[in-house]
Amino acid sequence: MEEKKQDIFEKNEYDANRYTAFCLRIAAIVAVLMWLLNILGFFIIDDRLMNIAMPIGVVLFLLPSLLVKSWKFDYRLLKYVTMGCFLMGVCIMATALTLQLILAWACPIVLSCHYYSPKFTRYTILGVLLLMLISVYAGLLLGVWDSNMMRSNDAIYEVGARIEFMRTAAANGDNILLRVFNFYYLPRAVVLIIVHLFGLTLSSRTHKLLATQEEITRERERIGAELSVATDIQASMLPSIFPAFPDRTEFDIYASMYPAKEVGGDFYDFFLIDHDHMALVIADVSGKGVPAALFMVIAKTLIKNAVQAGMSPKGALEQVNGQLCDNNDAEMFVTAWVGIYEISTGKLVAANAGHEYPIIKSGGGEFRVLHDKHGFVLAGMEASRYTEYELLLEVGDTVFLYTDGVTEAGDLEDRPYGMERLVSALNENLQADPRAILGHVSSSIEAFTGDAPQFDDITMLCIKRRK
């Protein structure tokens, strides 16, 4: 049975059946040892009884091990068949060895608790009480002679003689059947019922815990499925088809985002405002998971609307900051870098709202960190003001943008990847295109972090002027 298709109760039944079969194999070994010891003379039990009861009991004890592997019917029925084999095996052996196996009747009750089913535990105690009663009376006729129950020192082995003895005793005022029921069966039945009550309490409490766990598991699966859809929706909101503008040869652009959870708070965006101007955006929302993702959607939409309305990076950031500050009860904030690139001239006008410094390669040189002037984060304080600056990109110049998930990626010793490693990785292949640059940086981060878990979203955007 495929475990991945089982709910928590079915899996528990599967495991409990296997455990019960294992315990019955142990019981079969014990029965065989008793049988052999009796043959060798260590016991004084009638060989005829042992030679009949023990083989049948051993077969019944071993049968569940075969059924667990080959059962083709409703799997929920297997526990009843398994327990039935156990009870019948004990009943047959107890018929021959009533006094010697009295403790064996507690074993089915204890094992039934492993199924964590109050109903199954109740059925088990009913079976135990019924079959123990049968074995007691059958043992009077067929089992080992018990002089205490019969009140006779003369051993009687024949069934007919035992029946006649009980008739004679009843005629003399000694009802052996009633006396055995009252003074032998009932006390042991009461003890087994008490054991059952303890087991029933365990079964009921664990059943409730499993039911709660089942509900939690299903809720997690539902949330997981919804988060998977949310991941797809978030990915569809970001430009993800490359080359993004196959008919534009003036520049090359590439971007990537690897969320730390199913959905992330980082985002990037790039889009043509008109034929000669393109907006570049990279941002990082405080926090992670669903709240950050929802705030990200709002921030991304507001920034895009502001830029498409013709605002400069400075004006767009100031307007979006005011909008995000309104009703920001969650007290979240966004760091953002917004630039408008003039394709024909290579002029880049940008403003920074508390985001990471951009890294620039210009004039045929190496990548270097541009320490631009930071404004305050978006949604952090009303009426914040931002400063614009200009860059002139020549042919071959490259701008690399990123979030703090890149530089703060940690290894197993909690050491950060850091700016120095990032710049070094960028300078290892100065002629690479944006896709190759981002791929190389990603590989460098993975090599550094190793098996350490990712704690923050890793987002990168790179643009290179071609002509």
CATH code of 242-465, in short, is 3.60.40.10
Cα–Cα distance measured from residue 282 to residue 303, given in angstroms and rounded to the nearest whole number:
10
Residue 92 has pLDDT above 60, yes or no: yes
Where along the chain do the CATH 3.60.40.10 domains lie? 242-465
The string of pLDDT tens digits covering residues 293-329 is 788 888 999 999 999 999 999 999 999 999 999 878 7
Peptide bond into 358 cis (omega under 30): no
Between these two residues, 465 and 157, which has the higher pLDDT value? 465
Mind giving me the DSSP string for 403-449? -HHHHT-B-TT--B-HHHHHHHHHTT-TT--HHHHHHHHHHHHHHHH
Percent of the chain with pLDDT over 90: 57
Model confidence pLDDT, tens digit, residues 28-44: 998 899 888 878 877 66
What pLDDT shows up at residue 231?
Answer: 64
- Residue 376 buriedness (CB in 10 A; 0-12 / 13-18 / 19+): middle
Tell me what percent of the chain is helix, strand and coil, each rounded to the nearest 5: 55, 15, 30
Q: Please report which residue ranges of 181-250 form alpha helices under DSSP H.
A: 186-237
pLDDT digits (tens, 9 = 90+) for 420-449: 999 999 999 898 999 999 999 999 999 999
DSSP-derived letter for residue 75 is G
Are 56 and 28 in contact by the 8 Å Cβ rule? The answer is no
Give the model's pLDDT for residue 2. Answer: 38
Scanning 347-417, the segments in alpha helix (DSSP H) are 404-407
- Distance CA(16)–CA(12), nearest Å, equals 6
pLDDT digits (tens, 9 = 90+) for 345-393: 999 999 999 999 999 999 889 999 999 998 999 998 888 999 999 999 9
Q: Tokens for 227? A: 């988060």
- Half-sphere exposure in the Cβ direction for 221 (13 Å, CA): 8
